[in-house]
Amino acid sequence: MAHQIEEAKTGRASCRSCKKPIAKGDLRLGEEVPNAFAAGEVTYQWHHLACAAKKKPLVLEEALQSTVVDVPDRAALQTDIAINKKHQQPTTFPFAERAKTSRSTCLGCSEAIDKGTLRVAVEREVDTGAFVTNSPGYLHAACAQAWLDDKAPLQGGPLLTLLQTNSTGLDEGDIEALKLELST
C-alpha cells in the first residue's frame, strides 16, 4: 500500500491540514504514516485534496500518479502542487538545491559552498564519539559524483536522475546547470 486517494466513506475524519471535517463522499488523500501503536504497521492521515496540494504537495503528487480514482479537478491540483512543492524541503537523499547560506563546506574538496551555488545534499553517517547518527552533508555539484563513488555508491540509478526525482526547488535552468557541473 501507499498514499491513496479515495472517497470518504463517512464524515467522521478531519483534515490534518485545516482541521475541518471531510464530508462523506468527498475525495480525500490518505497519507500513509507509521502506526505509533503497532510496530511495522501503517495508518492513514486524511486531507482534503485542495489542502494537500498546499501542505503535502509531494505526497499528493505521488498519490495522483498511482490512483485509479477519477479526480475531477486534477489539473488545478497539479498546478497548485507545482507551485507549492518549490517550498517543500526534499525528504529523500540525494537531492540538489541552491545553498541558502555560505556556511556549508563541501565534503569532497573541503572548500566553502557559496550561497546560491547548486549543491548536492547527501545523507552520511556521523560518528559523534558517543554515537553514530545520520546527518545531511553537502557537496559542490562538480564534487558529488567522485565523492559518492568513493564513499557511498548510489543505488537506484544515475546521480542526475535521482537528483531530478528527489529535488523540489529546481527549475529548468537549474537542471541544465546541474547537468553541466555533474559532467565536469
Q: Are 182 and 160 in contact (CB under 8 A)?
A: yes
Report in angstroms how near the CB of residue 10 gets to Zn ion at its nearest. Answer: 16
Give Cα 79 to chain centroid, integer Å. Answer: 17
Rounded Cα gap, residues 80 and 74, in angstroms:
10
> Please, which residue, 60 or 170, has the CB nearer to Zn ion?
60
Give Cα 77 to chain centroid, integer Å. Answer: 18
Residues 27-66 that bind Zn ion (CB under 5 A): 48, 51
Residues 63-102 that bind Zn ion (CB under 5 A): none
Q: Does 177 bind Zn ion (CB under 5 A)?
A: no
Task: Find where cell 545553498 sits.
Answer: 99
Report in angstroms how near the CB of residue 29 gets to Zn ion at its nearest. Answer: 10
Segment near Zn ion (CB under 5 A); pick from 9-17, 91-99, 119-127, 150-158? 9-17
Q: How many residues does the chain have?
A: 184
Report in angstroms how near the CB of residue 47 gets to Zn ion at its nearest. Answer: 6
Choosing from 18, 71, 160, 175, the residue that interacts with Zn ion (CB under 5 A) is 18
DSSP SS3 for 105: strand
DSSP SS3 for 85: helix
Report in angstroms how near the CB of residue 24 gets to Zn ion at its nearest. Answer: 15
Residues 113-152 that bind Zn ion (CB under 5 A): 140, 143
